[in-house]
Homo-oligomer: A and B are copies of this chain.
Amino acid sequence: MPTPARTSTQAIITAGRMILAREGLDGLTMEKVAAAAGVRAPSLYKRVSGRPELVRLVAGDVVAEVAADLASAASSGDPASDLRAMAYTLRSLAARDPHGFGLLFQPLPAHSAPDPATYAAAVGPLLRVTGELAGPDHALAAARTVTAWASGFLRMELAGGFQLGEDVADAFAYGITLLTEAIAREGGKSASGAGPIRA
């Protein structure tokens, strides 16, 4: 006898985001997510294969949000401004949802890691900007440098690192300025397709 569904994968993901934001990854239990979605834990197994896949879906949802925010942040027309705007967008996201953002940069087991294609969409605007700054030959290496710095910085900030005093916001500004100028200089010294800073 068919019965109507009382929840959906999307509702489960939304419930998962809420629990994650409030209680962190350890608090993201099947029981709590099920309760937030209005069912019992065993019912979740009709939509997801288990907790690893639930984590994967929730992480994918975070990545998609980051990708959308990054894309709309990188629209000033000036690549140096765009790069700075993207960095500060990430910092805002991290401050607004530390647990959700932290999930992005966590070494997740294979079954919990979002699809590489999901990440690729988020990186698109960054690659465009580093390409304009450093030239096509260095676009990927420069993007990796910026991504590594930003993710490391924000994760350390969220984890309560940076205990040696001085203003953390100043260190963030120092870092993004240093990187932007260095990458732009990299583009300037190579003849290969690097335009002026204003693309």
Q: Which residues of B contact A107 (CB under 8 A)?
A: 102, 106, 155, 158-159
CA distance A39 to B142 in the complex (A): 51
Contact with B along A166-180 (1 / 0, CB 8 A): 100011001100110
Oligomeric state, in number of copies? Answer: 2
- The answer to whether residues A166 and B152 also contact, given A102-B107, A159-B108 and a CB cut-off of 8 A, is no
- Tell me, yes or no, whether A116 is within 8 Å of chain B by CB: yes
Contact with B along A68-108 (1 / 0, CB 8 A): 00000000000000000000000000000000001001111
CA distance A12 to B119 in the complex (A): 40
CA distance A105 to B160 in the complex (A): 11
Interface residues of A in 138-181 (CB under 8 A from B): 138, 140-142, 144-145, 147-153, 155-156, 158-166, 170-171, 174-175, 178-179, 181
Q: Identify the A interface with B (CB < 8 A).
A: 26, 102, 105-109, 113, 116, 119-120, 123, 138, 140-142, 144-145, 147-153, 155-156, 158-166, 170-171, 174-175, 178-179, 181-183, 186
